[in-house]
Chain A
């Protein structure tokens, strides 16, 4: 069964520093990977996705993620963090093929950016 792991419950980073939020996946076949962000008491907002093509995917708000097949990882990155980036980040995977439309979410990583 497909799954996603986010090993860090929380990531703390100073404003202006680069940030990385980790995600690893387990899925048969080629994975379709997504990152979403959730602000307090809100739904999730789409940041970026990897389906195929370049391993480095650029998304909203200056975020990017690198797909690494050999390490089965899809870490979220940003070169320079902002205080406003503080939120809960979810990695998700959808298995390709068939008619399944479900996303499997990781447990989330809370990003705290300090001024």
Chain B
């Protein structure tokens, strides 16, 4: 089945530094990837839709200059948290859809998430 690999699984960084999270589709091409953020005991919040070869589409309230998304190839999207602060500490999850299945009705495949802790 389709596999999405996310790296790193955990990262601790100091306040003010930047952190890059990678999301790769291992056995399918993903023209679109999605980045979610999950707070403790809460649901997933869609942050942005990453489009290969074009700008990402950000959800309302998400700072695009803080959460930089790059989708340079059909198998890789990156999320960079710039000038991280403790309030950015969260669980970040990427996902992608294998449109070769049932198109938009195909299920999303999720990475295992990245737990970011900003000290």
Which residues of A are interface residues toward B (Cβ below 8 A)?
Answer: 32, 34, 36, 41-46, 49, 51, 90, 94, 101-103, 105-108
Contacts and interface: CB of A to CB of B under 8 A. Distances in A.
Contacts of B102: 51
B111 A43 contact: yes
Contacts of B110: 36, 43-45
Nearest to B107: A46
B1 to A, nearest CB: 9
Given A41-B113, A43-B6, A90 B43 contact: yes
Given A43-B93, A43-B113, A94-B104, A107 B6 contact: no
Contacts of B112: 41-43
A46 B2 CA distance: 11
B42 A107 contact: yes
B108 A46 contact: yes
Given A43-B4, A106-B43, A51 B105 contact: yes
B43 A46 contact: no
Given A90-B43, A105-B43, 17 more contacts: A34-B108, A41-B91, A41-B112, A41-B115, A43-B6, A43-B93, A44-B110, A46-B109, A49-B107, A51-B102, A51-B105, A90-B44, A94-B104, A101-B97, A103-B108, A105-B44, A108-B43
A90 B46 CA distance: 14
B52 to A, nearest CB: 13
A42 B113 contact: yes
A40 to B, nearest CB: 10
Nearest to A104: B46
B107 A102 contact: no
In the complex, the 4 A-B pairs of residues with the closest C-beta atoms, listed nearest first: A43-B110, A46-B107, A44-B110, A107-B43
Contacts of B115: 41
A112 to B, nearest CB: 14
Nearest to B38: A38
8 contacts: A36-B108, A36-B110, A41-B9, A41-B91, A42-B113, A46-B107, A46-B108, A103-B108
